[in-house]
Structure 1
Amino acid sequence: MSRARRKAYRDGILAETLAALLYRLKGYRIVARRYRSPVGEIDLVATKGKRLAFVEVKRRRTRDAAAFAVTAKQKRRIVRAAQYWLASHPNYAGHDIAFDVVLAVPWSWPRIIENAFPL
């Protein structure tokens, strides 16, 4: 793995950690982190009351670049992974499902976009 790739990986892990901290500060409980399934990966799964949020964390140099990094193909992958997660965790079946995106940029707190895209 190249040095640039290792740095990008570490930066991504840091962004996910900051996003998890931000969700905790907002009263959420993190129920899964870096969940991998045969159909895709979900960065964070968080719950607060009856809201169950599947969270995609994007770290880029600017917020615009991070926002545009969530493509339609990625959204479909995240939805499929969320459906897979829900199938293996039936105790969350009655929750309100949401797909959030966290935009992370250097030297700034991550920004949460709630309900970034529909199911």
Structure 2
Amino acid sequence: MNPRTPDQRRDADQRGREGEAEAAMFLAQAGWRIVAERVKTKAGEIDLIARKPGLIAFVEVKWRARAAQLGDAIDERRLARVAAAVEMVWQDYATQGEDIRIDVILLAPGSKPTHIENAWMPFG
């Protein structure tokens, strides 16, 4: 894999921010309240944290240039990284006994967002 140039990293970061904003709007329209964005931990970053009554969702957002690429956007390794980050901060957000889960939102131009609820089911 070729290393990215600074311009490529900046462009990817910008697309990621735009994707996260689109995902936040999608969640808000579905009745969620966004309580945090881009939460950084030692284990990694959580893109969005959203709340509904009795539920906190830690949301990984993946954007791809083509919808056909979305199938490879998320895997167990990436979800495990998100889960490790969630483990570090969930108690700061689920302060009233809410259930917590990890969701994924997949985005591509010209296609409707795909919301995968409770995407992290660790293999034991």
Give the letter aligned to residue 8 of structure 2: A
Aligned identity (percent) is 36
Counterpart in the other structure of 2:14: 10
Q: Does 1:41 align with 2:45?
A: yes
| Separation in structure 2 between the aligned mates of residue 44 and residue 71 of structure 1, nearest angstrom | 18
Moved over 6 A (4+): none
Counterpart residue number, 2:116: 113
2-structure distance, mates of 1:115, 1:64: 22
Partner of residue 95, structure 1: 98
**TM, length-normalised to structure 2:** 0.83
Q: CA RMSD in A?
A: 1.8
Displacement of 1:30 in angstroms is 0.8
Does 1:27 pair with 2:17? no
Say which SS state the counterpart of residue 120 (structure 2) adopts: coil
Look up the SS of the partner of 2:19 in the other structure: helix
Q: Is the 8 A contact 1:42 1:55 kept in 2?
A: yes
- Deviations 1:66-116 (CA, angstroms, capped at 9, x unpaired): 332212221111111111112444615x11111111101023342211112
Residue in 1 aligned with 2:72?
68
Local SS of the residue matching 1:24: helix
1:67 and 1:103 in contact (8 A); partners too: no
Aligned partner of residue 18 in structure 2, secondary structure: helix
Distance in 1 of aligned mates of 2:94 and 2:116: 26
TM-score by length of 1: 0.86
